[in-house]
Amino acid sequence: TDTRTFIPFLNNIEERYFKLPKYIVADAGYGSEQNYSEVLHRNRTPLITYNTYRKEKKKKYKENLFYVSNWDYDSDSDFFTCPNGKKVPFQYLSNRT
């Protein structure tokens, strides 16, 4: 992916060419939390999809009950409901690099 080249690219444009526009547009290869944060830090709006965006929009993905993202979530009690109707409490958030 190109995620690590995005910030140096923005720096290069600003230093050598022109002020960045209000909207920063890039393809999914540049989609990462770090890049979104950088664009927001520069007071710009990121228009960058994340790498699984198109996959998640497909009917086959949306109807697959084995993806946790498709499970019902109860924010008051902080639990998900699995396809078997069992309550699965939220345990932790994991960040991967």
For the stretch 2-27, pLDDT in tens is 789 999 999 999 999 999 999 999 98
Q: What's this model's pTM, rounded to 2 decimal places?
A: 0.61
CA torsion angle 35 45 47 36 (round to 10): 20
Contact assessment for residue 21 and residue 46, using Cβ atoms and an 8 Å cutoff = no
How many angstroms separate the CA atoms of 48 and 5, rounded?
14
Amino acid at 50: Y
| Rounded percentage of the chain residues whose pLDDT exceeds 70 | 99
**Which pLDDT value is given to residue 1?**
63
Span 45-81, pLDDT tens digits: 999 988 888 888 889 988 888 888 889 899 898 899 9
Residue closest to 28 by CA, chosen among 50, 52, 4? 50
